[in-house]
Amino acid sequence: MSIHEECGVFGIYDKAGDCARTTYYGLYALQHRGQEACGIAAINDRELSSYKDIGLVGDVFHEKILDELNGTMAVGHVRYATTGAGKRENAQPLTLKYVKGTLAVVHNGNLVNTGALRKYFEYRGAIFQTSTDSEIIAYSIAQERLKCGSVEEAVKNAMPMLKGAFSLIVMSPRKLIAARDPWGFRPLCMGRRGDAVVFASESCALDGVDAEYIREIEPGEIVVVEDGVVRSIRDNCPEDSKGNLCIFEYIYFARPDSEIYGQSVHFARRMAGRLLAQEHPVEADLVIGVPDSGLDAAMGYAEESGIPYGEGFVKNRYIGRTFITPNQQSRENAVRIKLGLLSNNVKGKRVVMIDDSIVRGTTCKAIIKLLRDAGAKEVHMRVSSPRFISPCYFGTDIPDKKDLIACHHTVEEICEMAGADTLGFLSVENLHKIAPDAQCGFCDGCFTEHYAVEIDEGYAGGTGCN
């Protein structure tokens, strides 16, 4: 419940027009990837216009704004970030003028050589007005554009400089360009709706705008749409790698109705539950999941174990950014407001409770207390991912080791601290079996400390869709 995906991107090329509006619906479908800020930029007759602000898609955009943005190409962005005044300038799309005219840039991910790149550009006179990686990416493209003949070539030439995760969409007055880092950390897929071409972080956004899923953008690939024609540039695609997709997308980040690399997210979660049941069986009367992402895993656990699946919690759908945390009550009470409990379902029962992960261990403790208060006889916690032992540098906010309970405590200790009867995590070995249909390799660095990209020792870490 407390790890956040950082950002979602959407782009469309549609000569029929109305692209800002389509992007609006696309962003709605990606809202789970970022609720802090959002924005849309559109090209109409080669003119760029854009609008972005802090807030949800439904709050930031109104009919009038969409009407003004309308065009035959558009890109959009939803952003997750820590709260704070004055962060408005970090909202995307980043829109800019450079030597060849205008550009709009949206991206999801996090670079790990930010410091070196900033220095590099600053020593050439650059000024940085935001703290986003988008601005660094834009500088890279702008600089390369001076030496080559097209914006897509500039993107191609800039990519080797950019170390880390980026799923990127760049829009010039005539071209829509999607690009993905050579490791393929964050997802990015392509779809079609008639002649229109659509890019999105997840396939659920294609469904949302009635576009057909075509394929993933490959790690290192650049896809250019110009005059309705789609071209692929594969110079940066690694030859010998299946890529390093963030495996936590399947566990938690992505929407269950999305498919990534041919693998349904819903089924991956269910499979995680099945494997968890094999790995950590227990005698019990009921399997329940912590909404929303624990539900699918709970269903899988139930199927595999034969223990009945049941609903345990009702999530309050109205808790938003402005929720006032109880100040005179315990954290437990905050959980009580966020999660209603079907007390009769758990009373007197031995309950298996599935959640997707344990970060600090505070939330699961409060939830287990809720179950015990309601009369659960036993609470067996099962976690549909391995223990977090290392931070993420590639665009999520999995925190530093000091804040990860599994870095400091054994499973037994965590179990006792959480107040569970037993506790079991999915093993890394089984983790790699949850997405059997996925045509890709994975990054599991937060569980294994093995990262596809070397992290500089002094790297401070990314804290947002930087």
Range 87-106, binding a second copy (CB under 8 A): 88-89, 94-99, 103
Question: Considering only residues 239, 306, 322, 457, which one is a binding residue for a second copy as defined by CB under 8 A?
Answer: 322
CB of 298 within 8 A of CB of 273?
yes
Question: Considering only residues 13, 80, 139, 253, which one is a binding residue for a second copy as defined by CB under 8 A?
Answer: 139
CB of 309 within 8 A of CB of 302?
yes
Our finding on whether 82 is near a second copy (CB under 8 A) is no
Our finding on whether 86 is near a second copy (CB under 8 A) is yes
> Which residues are within 8 A (CB) of 393 and not within 5 positions of it... i.e. 6 or more apart?
110, 112, 164, 165, 445, 451, 453, 455, 459, 461, 462
Question: Considering only residues 328, 402, 457, 458, which one is a binding residue for a second copy as defined by CB under 8 A?
Answer: 328
Question: Considering only residues 116, 126, 161, 282, which one is a binding residue for a second copy as defined by CB under 8 A?
Answer: 126
Our finding on whether 439 is near a second copy (CB under 8 A) is no
Q: How many CA atoms lie within 13 A of 421 on its CB side?
A: 16
Question: DSSP letters of 42-95?
Answer: EEETTEEEEEEEES-HHHH--HHHHHHH--SEEEEEEE-----TTGGGG-S-EE
- Least distance from a second copy to the Cβ atom of residue 268, Å: 11
CB of 244 within 8 A of CB of 443?
yes
Q: Site for a second copy (CB under 8 A): how many residues? A: 89
Our finding on whether 113 is near a second copy (CB under 8 A) is no
Our finding on whether 121 is near a second copy (CB under 8 A) is yes
- Which residue stretch of 338-346, 354-362, 389-397, 420-428 sits at the interface with a second copy (rule: CB under 8 A)? 338-346
- Least distance from a second copy to the Cβ atom of residue 357, Å: 20
Query: DSSP code of 244?
Result: -
Structure tokens at 69: 């943005």
Alpha-carbon span 417 to 438, nearest angstrom:
36
Our finding on whether 416 is near a second copy (CB under 8 A) is no
Question: Considering only residues 45, 63, 239, 457, which one is a binding residue for a second copy as defined by CB under 8 A?
Answer: 63
Range 281-320, binding a second copy (CB under 8 A): 295-296, 299, 309, 311, 313-314, 316-320
Question: Considering only residues 173, 238, 281, 340, which one is a binding residue for a second copy as defined by CB under 8 A?
Answer: 340
Report in angstroms the alpha-carbon separations of 258 from 63, 281, 336.
Answer: 28, 29, 30
Q: Nearer Cβ to a second copy, position 139 or 447? A: 139
Our finding on whether 170 is near a second copy (CB under 8 A) is no
Q: Which of 287, 288, 286, 254 is nearest to 269 (CA)?
A: 254
Alpha-carbon span 14 to 247, nearest angstrom:
32
Alpha-carbon span 155 to 231, nearest angstrom:
14
Catalytic-role residue among 7, 189, 246, 465 = 7
Write each residue from 31 to 60 as x if it is in contact with a second copy (CB under 8 A), else as -, in one continuous string: xx--x-------------xxx----xxxx-
- Least distance from a second copy to the Cβ atom of residue 324, Å: 6
- Which residue reads 């009769």 in tokens? 344
Q: Alpha helices, DSSP H only, in 385-433?
A: 411-418, 428-431
Question: Considering only residues 82, 278, 344, 410, which one is a binding residue for a second copy as defined by CB under 8 A?
Answer: 344
Q: Nearer Cβ to a second copy, position 22 or 390? A: 22
Our finding on whether 146 is near a second copy (CB under 8 A) is yes
Structure tokens at 385: 């991912």
| Cα–chain center distance at 423 | 27
Question: Considering only residues 83, 125, 240, 402, which one is a binding residue for a second copy as defined by CB under 8 A?
Answer: 125
Q: Nearer Cβ to a second copy, position 317 or 402? A: 317
Range 198-257, binding a second copy (CB under 8 A): 204, 207-208, 210, 255-257
Q: Nearer Cβ to a second copy, position 238 or 310? A: 310
Q: Nearer Cβ to a second copy, position 369 or 387? A: 369
Q: Nearer Cβ to a second copy, position 84 or 401? A: 84
Question: DSSP letters of 182-230?
Answer: TT--S--EEEEETTEEEEESSHHHHHHTTPEEEEEPPTT-EEEEETTEE
Among this protein's residues, is 246 annotated catalytic? no
Our finding on whether 166 is near a second copy (CB under 8 A) is no
Catalytically annotated residues: 7
